[in-house]
Amino acid sequence: MQEAHDAPPLELVDIRKSFSEGKGRLNVLKGANLTLYPGQIVALVAPSGAGKSTLLQIAGLLERPDEGEVYIGGVACGRASDSQRTAIRRNDIGFVYQFHHLLPEFTALENVALPQLIRGLDRKEAEERSRQLLGYMRLSERVTHRPAELSGGERQRVAIARAVANAPRLLLADEPTGNLDPKTAAYVFDALVALVRASGLAAVLATHNLELAERMDRRITLEDGLVLEI
């Protein structure tokens, strides 16, 4: 599967998705279109039930659309095999969720190094890169701490470092500051923005925090199954 030169990190074309609901179907996405460019941070702001998580899961190749196409770096992923989609997720897409999902028995350093080891980097290189990322997230003093020894904001910053450890072209974040107090949320958001700007990846952040959304490059919403610019 060859990628197109200078293609957008993410392109969603006429995405349609429905789910069984009782005896009928619930049409969540009805022809959604979205294009993201390198270094761009997009806020996805929409009420619960509008389809934010569905859109992110389709963009992240965790679900297949009923119709339409998902392009990651110019690669059409709709008909890709499960193993191909897994490889694209591992190499090209980073995920951050509302809950950090760190492995409790591992240190911050080990949590960030693990995706790199799975990809095939040797341990020394993976740990060196992990130290750099954690330093960038202002966690140099916490690299040997396990998640239980970190604050909520620190855990989310480790999760962000882990999400970008394999230098993805696309970062998808679903309410990444939703469990944090306003001051900590702003701190984590600032760190995330700095990382996106420095690395040139594209990012979509689903959030209910309108103040944070105003600070992003673009704001989009979901209305009647379509992506609309705000």
Residue 170 binned pLDDT confidence (cut-offs 50, 70, 90): very high
Is residue 160 within 8 Å of 38, Cβ to Cβ?
no
Domain ranges for the chain, please list them.
Answer: 10-101+167-229
Strand, helix or coil at 115? helix
**pLDDT number for residue 83:** 92
Confidence of residue 5 (pLDDT cuts 50, 70, 90): low
* DSSP summary character for residue 99: S
Residue 159 has pLDDT above 60, yes or no: yes
Round to whole Å and give the CA distance between 174 and 212: 14
With a pLDDT cut of 90, the percent of the chain lying above it is 51
Neighbours of 117 (CB within 10 A): 16
pLDDT at 13 over 60: yes
Residue 9 pLDDT: 93
- pLDDT of amino acid 145: 96
The sign one gets for the Cα dihedral 181, 42, 131, 118 is positive
Given a contact cutoff of 8 angstroms between Cβ atoms, the answer to whether 168 and 73 are in contact is no
212, pLDDT greater than 90: no
Q: Give yes or no for residue 148 having a pLDDT over 50.
A: yes
Place of tokens 């294009």: 35
Model pTM score: 0.85
Range with the largest mean pLDDT of 42-51, 57-66, 88-97, 173-182: 57-66
Q: How far apart are CA 215 and CA 209, in angstroms?
A: 10
| CA distances from residue 6 to 53, 89, 197 in whole angstroms, order as listed | 27, 19, 18
> How many helices (H) and strands (E) are present in the chain, helices listed first?
7, 10
Residue 2: band (very low, low, confident or very high) from pLDDT cuts 50, 70, 90: very low
For residue 206, pLDDT beyond 60: yes
Note the CATH number of domain 10-101+167-229: 3.40.50.300
How would you classify the pairing of strands 218-223 and 10-21? unpaired
Amino acid at 61: L
Identify which has the larger pLDDT, 188 or 37: 37
